[in-house]
């Protein structure tokens, strides 16, 4: 069962301190110009005033646009668990010695701890046909290029709490690039309401035999708000259900073989 544990009070500071001591990198998600941006940061210090993160020099263009009091989402992994929380930006400090920007974040009131297995991709069970509607939202690197088409349909191949793989016709290859931002909607189970998320294309994989193009997508912004985390919890439940359906199918096949 993908059980989420809510950490509060001393457990919050203990968890962040452990991440700092291990020099862990974390994913920071925030919005710029109406689009979600996700970058890697290091958790470098926990003080009485807040949590200090260090950004990378090559990501300065994204962090320069951050504002005081802007909401951000943070996620990181420790062993077999994933930790997420939302917080706000309290200040900035340039550091020549570390070749990066230091960002001061407010210490969160709570952290959600969830099993990392929820972020492992599960194949969509064979008896399901999950259609995906998705559309162009922009580019993470501000490329001034719009595809000739901006609205597509595809089939979901696998799903995790953090992303999905979609299959489309290879004839649409010219419409997609890594770093492209899309909105997407899908109904993971026929009796459920649709899920609406924003995502970033991470990689493209063509299959010449099937003449399909596989899009690897990472979901964005789910850590930053209560509504986003509600969607995240729904995704976790779906992933668990997919895993159960796939396991039951494999067990039934093995029984027939035996």
- Global pTM reads 0.84
Q: Which DSSP category does 161 fall into? A: S
The CA–CA distances, whole Å, from 211 to 66, 205, 214 equal 42, 11, 10
In this structure, which topology does domain 5-118 adopt according to CATH? Pnp Oxidase; Chain A (2.30.110)
Convert 205-227 to b/e letters by CB count within 10 Å (16 or more is b).
eeeeeeebbbbbbebbbbbbeee
What pLDDT is attached to residue 8? 96
Backbone angles phi, psi at 105, to 5 degrees: -110, 150
Where, residue-wise, is CATH 2.30.110.10 in the chain? Answer: 5-118
pLDDT at 33: 82
- What pLDDT does 61 receive? 61
Could you report the average pLDDT of every consecutive run of 10 residues in the chain (258 residues)? 84 96 92 86 91 76 80 93 95 65 92 90 94 87 65 96 96 92 94 94 93 96 91 94 87 53
Integer CA distances (angstroms), 126 to 83, 192, 193, 195, 230, in order = 32, 18, 20, 20, 27
In this structure, whether the domain defined by 120-257 belongs to CATH 2.40.10.220 is answered with yes
Q: What is the pLDDT of residue 70?
A: 94
17 membership: H or E segment, kind and range: helix 10-21
Delimit the CATH 2.40.10.220 region(s) of the chain.
120-257
């Amino acid at each position: 069962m993908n059980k989420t544990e809510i950490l509060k009070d001393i457990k919050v500071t203990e968890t962040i301190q452990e991440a700092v001591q291990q020099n862990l990198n974390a994913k920071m998600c925030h919005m710029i110009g109406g689009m979600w941006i996700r970058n890697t940061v290091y958790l470098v210090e926990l003080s009485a005033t807040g949590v200090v993160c260090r950004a990378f020099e090559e990501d300065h263009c994204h962090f320069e646009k951050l504002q005081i009091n802007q909401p951000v989402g943070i996620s990181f992994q420790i062993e077999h668990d994933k930790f997420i929380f939302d917080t706000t930006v309290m200040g900035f400090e340039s550091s020549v010695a570390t070749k990066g920007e230091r960002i001061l974040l407010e210490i969160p009131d709570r952290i959600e701890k969830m099993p990392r297995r929820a972020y492992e991709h599960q194949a969509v069970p064979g008896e399901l046909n999950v259609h995906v509607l998705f559309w162009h939202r922009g580019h993470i690197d501000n490329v001034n290029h719009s595809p000739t088409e901006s609205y597509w349909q595809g089939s979901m191949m696998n799903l995790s709490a953090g992303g999905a793989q979609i299959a489309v016709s290879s004839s649409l290859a010219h419409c997609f690039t890594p770093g492209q931002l899309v909105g997407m909607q899908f109904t993971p189970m026929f009796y459920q309401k649709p899920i609406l998320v924003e995502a970033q294309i991470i990689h493209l994989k063509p299959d010449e035999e099937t003449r399909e193009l596989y899009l690897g997508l990472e979901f964005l912004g789910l850590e930053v708000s209560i509504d986003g985390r509600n969607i995240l919890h729904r995704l976790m439940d779906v992933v668990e259900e997919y895993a159960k359906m796939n396991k039951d199918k494999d067990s039934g096949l093995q029984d027939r073989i035996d």
